[in-house]
Structure 1
Amino acid sequence: MPQKAGDVIEQGLRLLAQGQAQAAGGHFRAILRRDAGHAGALHGMACVVRACGRDDLAIGLAGRAIEIEGAAHYYVTLAQALMARGHVVQARAAVNVALLKAPRDLAARAVQARIAEESHDFTTAETALAQAIACGGVDAWRPRADMARFLWRRNRRPDALSWMRKAFALAPAEDRLLFHELVEMLLGCGEVGEARVSLEAWLRHLPDDAMAAGNLGAVLFTQRDYAAALPWLRRCVEAMPNADAWNNLGLTFMALGDVARARRALGQACDLRPGDGRIAANLATVLAEQGEDAPAAALCRAVMEDARTDAQTRAQARFNLGTLLLGQGRMAEGWEAWEARHALLPPDTTHYPVLPRCTRAMLADDRGTTGERIVVQAMQGMGDTIQFLRYVPMLARRRRVVLVLPPALHRLAGSLRDRTGASVARRMEIIAPNDEYPRGVVARCDLFSLPYLLGLEGLPQSVGAYLGPVGMPRATGGLRVGLCWSGNERYRFDRLRSIGAERMAMLAGVEGVTFVSLQHGAGDADLPFPMETPSMGDVMDTAWVIATLDLVICVDTMVAHLAGAMGRPVWLLNRHGGDWRWSAALDGGEASPWGRQGSCWYPRLRQFRPTQAAPPPHAWDGVMEQVRAALHQWAAARRGVVRS
Structure 2
Amino acid sequence: MRPTPQNPAIAAQIQQAVALHQRGDHDKAEAVYKKVLAKAPKHFQALYLMGMLQLHREDPAAAIEWIDKALKINPTHVDAQFDRATALEDVERYTEALRSYDLVLALKSDFTEALYRRGNVLRAMKRHMEALDCYKRVLAAQPDHAQAWLKQGNSLNDLGRLSEALTCYEKAVEVAPEYPEALFNLANTLKEFDRIDEAMAIYDKVLEIEPDFAEAIANRAYLLAGKYRLEEALAGYDRAIELLPDYPDMAYNRAVTLEELQRYDDAIAGYALVPSSDPNYQSARWNTALCNLKLGNLEAGWRQYEQRWQTEQMRKTQRYFTQPLWLGDGPLAGKTILLHSEQGFGDTLQFARYAPMLAERGARVILQVQPALKSLMANVKGVSAVLATGEQLPPFDLQCPLMSLPLACQTFSLNDIPDAGYLQQDPAKTESWKVRLGEKRKPRVGLVWSGSNPRVNSPATKRLDAARSIPFNAMSPLLQNDQVEFFALQPQSSINSPLSLNLGGLSSALKLGGLSSGLTIGGQRLVDYTRDLRDFSDTAALIDNLDLVISVDTAVAHLAGSLGKPVWLLNRYNTDWRWLLGRNDSPWYPSMRIFRQEKPGDWSKVIEDVRTELQQQAQR
TM-score scaled by length of structure 1: 0.76
Please tell me whether residue 134 in structure 1 is matched to residue 115 in structure 2: no
Q: Does the 8 Å contact 2:47/2:66 carry over to 1?
A: no
Partner of 2:420: 464
Distance 1:121 1:264 in 2: 40
Are residues 273 and 549 of structure 1, via their aligned partners in 2, closer, same or farther at CA, if it must alter by over 3 Å?
same
Q: Does the 8 Å contact 1:289/1:576 carry over to 2?
A: yes
Please tell me whether residue 162 in structure 1 is matched to residue 118 in structure 2: no
Deviations 1:76-112 (A, max 9, x none): 444454673637655423222220xx2xx44333455
Distance 2:178 2:402 in 1: 50
Partner of 1:504: 475
Partner of 2:443: 479
Q: Does the 8 Å contact 2:128/2:158 carry over to 1?
A: no
Distance 2:280 2:176 in 1: 35
Please tell me whether residue 388 in structure 1 is matched to residue 358 in structure 2: no
RMSD (Å), alpha carbons:
4.0
Distance 2:200 2:566 in 1: 40
Please tell me whether residue 325 in structure 1 is matched to residue 280 in structure 2: no
- In the alignment, which of 552, 555, 560 is matched to residue 558 of structure 1? 555
Please tell me whether residue 548 in structure 1 is matched to residue 506 in structure 2: no
Partner of 2:458: none
Partner of 2:205: 235
SS of the counterpart of 2:445?
strand
Distance 1:238 1:297 in 2: 34
- Amino acid paired to 2:309: H
Partner of 2:466: 495
- In the alignment, which of 375, 392, 402 is matched to residue 411 of structure 1? 375
Distance 1:414 1:92 in 2: 75
Partner of 1:97: 73
Distance 1:53 1:314 in 2: 44
Distance 1:622 1:569 in 2: 21
SS of the counterpart of 1:310?
coil
Shift of 1:453: 3.5
Partner of 2:332: 367
Deviations 1:453-512 (A, max 9, x none): 443312262522334624324554131111112222533133332221222110123243
Written as runs of structure 1 = structure 2, the 5 A alignment for 1:138-287 is 139-153=110-124, 155-159=125-129, 161-166=131-136, 168-170=138-140, 172-241=142-211, 242-274=213-245, 278-287=249-258
Q: Does the 8 Å contact 2:340/2:368 carry over to 1?
A: yes
Q: Does the 8 Å contact 1:332/1:456 carry over to 2?
A: yes
Give unmatched runs, 5+ long, in structure 1.
Answer: 1-8, 11-27, 29-33, 588-596, 638-644
Q: Does the 8 Å contact 2:61/2:87 carry over to 1?
A: no
Shift of 1:367: 3.2
Distance 1:66 1:195 in 2: 53
Q: Does the 8 Å contact 1:300/1:318 carry over to 2?
A: yes
Count of aligned pairs = 570
Distance 1:572 1:249 in 2: 32
Written as runs of structure 1 = structure 2, the 5 A alignment for 1:103-142 is 105-113=77-85, 125-137=97-109, 139-142=110-113
Are residues 121 and 636 of structure 1, via their aligned partners in 2, closer, same or farther at CA, if it must alter by over 3 Å?
closer
Please tell me whether residue 341 in structure 1 is matched to residue 308 in structure 2: yes
Q: Does the 8 Å contact 1:486/1:500 carry over to 2?
A: yes
Are residues 446 and 255 of structure 1, via their aligned partners in 2, closer, same or farther at CA, if it must alter by over 3 Å?
farther
Are residues 162 and 210 of structure 1, via their aligned partners in 2, closer, same or farther at CA, if it must alter by over 3 Å?
closer
Shift of 1:295: 2.0
Partner of 2:487: 516
- In the alignment, which of 364, 389, 400 is matched to residue 431 of structure 1? 389
Shift of 1:64: 3.9
Written as runs of structure 1 = structure 2, the 5 A alignment for 1:52-71 is 52=24, 54=26, 57-58=29-30, 60-61=32-33, 64=36
- Amino acid paired to 2:448: C
SS of the counterpart of 1:456?
coil
Written as runs of structure 1 = structure 2, the 5 A alignment for 1:585-600 is 587=583, 597-600=584-587
Distance 1:412 1:59 in 2: 84
Deviations 1:167-211 (A, max 9, x none): 542464444444444444443444433322222333344443333
- Amino acid paired to 2:99: T
Written as runs of structure 1 = structure 2, the 5 A alignment for 1:521-540 is 521=492, 522=495, 524-525=509-510, 527=519, 529=521, 530-534=525-529, 535=531, 536-540=533-537
Distance 1:499 1:192 in 2: 29
Shift of 1:533: 1.0
Are residues 205 and 564 of structure 1, via their aligned partners in 2, closer, same or farther at CA, if it must alter by over 3 Å?
farther
Please tell me whether residue 297 in structure 1 is matched to residue 292 in structure 2: no
- In the alignment, which of 583, 588, 597 is matched to residue 610 of structure 1? 597
- Compare 174-183 and 528-537 and name the one that shifted more: 174-183
Please tell me whether residue 84 in structure 1 is matched to residue 60 in structure 2: yes
- Amino acid paired to 1:94: A
Shift of 1:261: 3.4
SS of the counterpart of 2:491?
coil
Partner of 2:570: 573
Distance 1:368 1:272 in 2: 59
- Compare 384-393 and 245-254 and name the one that shifted more: 384-393
- Amino acid paired to 1:465: G
Partner of 1:621: 604
Deviations 1:280-326 (A, max 9, x none): 322222222222223222222333xxxx5425433222222211110
Are residues 90 and 577 of structure 1, via their aligned partners in 2, closer, same or farther at CA, if it must alter by over 3 Å?
closer
Distance 1:293 1:633 in 2: 36
Deviations 1:369-394 (A, max 9, x none): 345x546341x333333323333444
Partner of 1:24: none
Identity of aligned residues (%): 26
Distance 1:365 1:254 in 2: 46
Distance 2:136 2:426 in 1: 65
Distance 2:608 2:269 in 1: 37
Distance 1:566 1:54 in 2: 79
TM-score scaled by length of structure 2: 0.79
Are residues 94 and 337 of structure 1, via their aligned partners in 2, closer, same or farther at CA, if it must alter by over 3 Å?
same
Distance 2:364 2:239 in 1: 52
Shift of 1:65: 9.2
